[in-house]
Amino acid sequence: MPVLPPWVSDPAGPAAREIVPLYWFMFALAVIVLAIVDGGLIYAGIKYRERPGVAAKQFHGHNLLELAWTVIPTIMVVSFAVLSFQRLLVLNDVNTGTEMVVKVHARQWQFTFEYPREFKGTSLATSDGPLTQTERIDIPVNTKVKLELTAEDVIHSFWIPNLGGKMDAIPGRTTYLSLQADRAGQFKGQCFEFCGDGHADMLLLVVAHETSEYATWAKTAIADYDRRNSPETKAGRELFKSLACAGCHIIPGLTAGRVGPPLTNIASKPNIAGVLSPVNEENLRKWISNPQAVKPGTQMPNLGLDADTVTKITQFLLTQK
């Protein structure tokens, strides 16, 4: 397990790189103060303790010491304030150099991202309007993205540790944060403000793509979005919500079952229940039709669904990537 927090050991964006040096400076001074204070206490406790032949004594007043422990902490606090303010000026400048603006809607218990209709000639528009995603935001590397954060219910907090910067999403107002990744990869985060009993499940994922690959991702994402909103897929979603599926499985924003495994990214998983691979239409149909025949002893029952219902639910689950 990593010993240090991810933003300290692996900063992956300009904001994190602004924060890390200040963190180490404050940390080093805090360790020095701890050593001096605890060292003084231990030294005084040993040297001036009461013991046979030696009576404990009290000392009152020491101008040099009193001056030192007043002036030094004051200088430290003022220095911390000045350095922090300088970093905040950089972190709070969300407009300079911004190339993309993404709207972030927070609610119990998920973040939804609404992209602009276009980015540098790449379309991000679907048949319903701007592309939207939940829990995950895809950005091109070396691109400053301005986030406009709002909340529908309670205060939430957006934070991707490796990329630095943290901002609350507050009902009734819009707050702003910039996001930028120096390299391609996946960076995890979470809502950092306790927002209810589902707080621990309010996860975040930033996927940074090479600039040359961003258009390919956008084309695939739009196709997946349009598929999720096709008539057959919508029918499958409604069936999933109305049948026993919703009582066992969780899909954020749709169902909140806790008995079975979450199906948020079922179409991207390597297998179904550890026995059927890959996750495709054929294997999903086989599993939904009769899970007991595929994996004897599984807790998922055979619901006796007809072929048309199985097809519609399968089409819906294939959109959960």
Q: pLDDT-based confidence at 263, cuts 50/70/90? A: confident
Distance CA 252, CA 230 (A): 20
**Which sign does the torsion angle of CA 47, 52, 55, 56 carry?**
positive
Position 69 pLDDT exceeds 70 = yes
Give the least confident one: 49-63, 100-114, 162-176, 213-227. 49-63
Q: pLDDT-based confidence at 250, cuts 50/70/90? A: confident
Q: Which helix (H) or strand (E) holds 218?
A: helix 211-228
Q: Contact at 8 Å (CB) between 160 and 125?
A: no
**DSSP conformation letters of 266-315:** GGGSS-BTTTB-S-SHHHHHHHHH-HHHHSTT-SS------HHHHHHHHH
Mean pLDDT of 71-94: 88
**Which sign does the torsion angle of CA 291, 296, 300, 306 carry?**
positive
Mean pLDDT of 34-52: 87
- Class of domain 231-317 as given by CATH: mainly beta
With residues binned 3-state (H G I as helix, E B as strand, rest as coil), the percentages for the chain, rounded to 5, are: 40, 20, 35
What is the predicted pLDDT for the residue at 1?
Answer: 43
Q: What percent of the chain has pLDDT above 70?
A: 95
Residue 217 dihedral angles phi and psi, to the nearest 5°: -60, -45
Residue 199 dihedral angles phi and psi, to the nearest 5°: -55, -40
Mean pLDDT of 38-61: 82
- Class of domain 100-213 as given by CATH: mainly beta
Position 5 pLDDT exceeds 80 = no
Q: pLDDT-based confidence at 99, cuts 50/70/90? A: very high
Q: pLDDT-based confidence at 32, cuts 50/70/90? A: very high
What is the predicted pLDDT for the residue at 265?
Answer: 77
Residue 9 dihedral angles phi and psi, to the nearest 5°: -85, -20
Determine the angle formed by the axes of helices 211-228 and 231-242, rounding to 10 degrees: 70
The tokens for 22 are: 């200040």
Q: DSSP assignment, residue 162?
A: G
- Class of domain 6-91 as given by CATH: mainly alpha
Mean pLDDT of 38-50: 86
| Cis amide linkage into residue 278, ω under 30° from 0 | yes
Question: Among 8, 3, 11, which residue's Cα sits nearest to residue 187?
Answer: 11
pLDDT in tens, 123-170: 888 887 889 888 889 999 999 999 999 998 899 999 998 888 889 999
Mean pLDDT of 40-56: 83
Distance CA 14, CA 90 (A): 10
Q: pLDDT-based confidence at 55, cuts 50/70/90? A: confident
Position 44 pLDDT exceeds 90 = no
What residues does each domain of the chain span?
Answer: 6-91, 100-213, 231-317
Q: pLDDT-based confidence at 82, cuts 50/70/90? A: very high
Q: pLDDT-based confidence at 103, cuts 50/70/90? A: very high
**DSSP conformation letters of 49-98:** --BTTB--------HHHHHHHHHHHHHHHHHHHHHHHHHHHHHT--STT-
Q: Do domains 6-91 and 100-213 have the same CATH topology?
A: no
Position 39 pLDDT exceeds 50 = yes
Mean pLDDT of the chain: 86
